[in-house]
Amino acid sequence: MSGRGELGSAIRRSLSRALESILGASGLSALRFHVERRLGMDMYDALCEDPRGFYSAVEGVLGGGAEALMRRTLLWLVQNGCLSAGEHEVDSLLRLLKEGGEGAANIIISLFRRSLGEGC
């Protein structure tokens, strides 16, 4: 997200709001600490630069709970207008996070970009 300006700020803000609504402020703080320790970088930047690495770090911290947390987070982002996708697309978005690959980051960023002026 570094260098993405307004979009990067919107993604950071949206993801932070989603995770805080699910985990609470202290839960988000703990998750962020452990994920960033594993990644060696800001977790919000990691989501946009290396979705698979981001997911792997969350999985390293939460084990099998990572999938449930990420599914709930993606659903929150969709329901609150932060991601331009339908609720039925959450499984596809989760697969993008888990598998990464060429273009995964661009797809995720474009879904945030389309939602940018819509209040999230």
41 in any annotated domain: yes
Q: What is the largest CA-CA distance in the chain?
A: 35
Q: Which tens digit of pLDDT belongs to each residue from 51-76? A: 999 999 999 999 999 999 999 999 99
Q: How confident is the model at residue 32 (pLDDT cuts 50, 70, 90)?
A: very high
User: How many domains does the structure of the chain reveal?
Assistant: 1
For residue 15, tell me if it sits in a domain. Answer: yes
pLDDT digits (tens, 9 = 90+) for 85-101: 887 889 999 998 998 87
User: Phi/psi at 50 (nearest 5 deg)?
Assistant: -150, 75
Q: Tell me, what's the pLDDT at 118? A: 55
Owning domain of residue 107: 6-118
User: Is residue 120 pLDDT above 80, yes or no?
Assistant: no
User: Does residue 1 lie within any of the structural domains?
Assistant: no
> Burial, 20: exposed, middle or buried (Cβ in 10 Å; 0-12, 13-18, 19+)?
middle
**pLDDT given for residue 119 in this prediction:** 57
First-residue to last-residue Cα distance in the chain: 17
* Mean predicted confidence (pLDDT) in 44-50: 90
Q: What is the CATH number of the domain that holds 111?
A: 1.10.1200
pLDDT at 9: 84
Q: Which whole number is the average pLDDT over 35-63?
A: 94
| pLDDT attached to residue 1 | 46
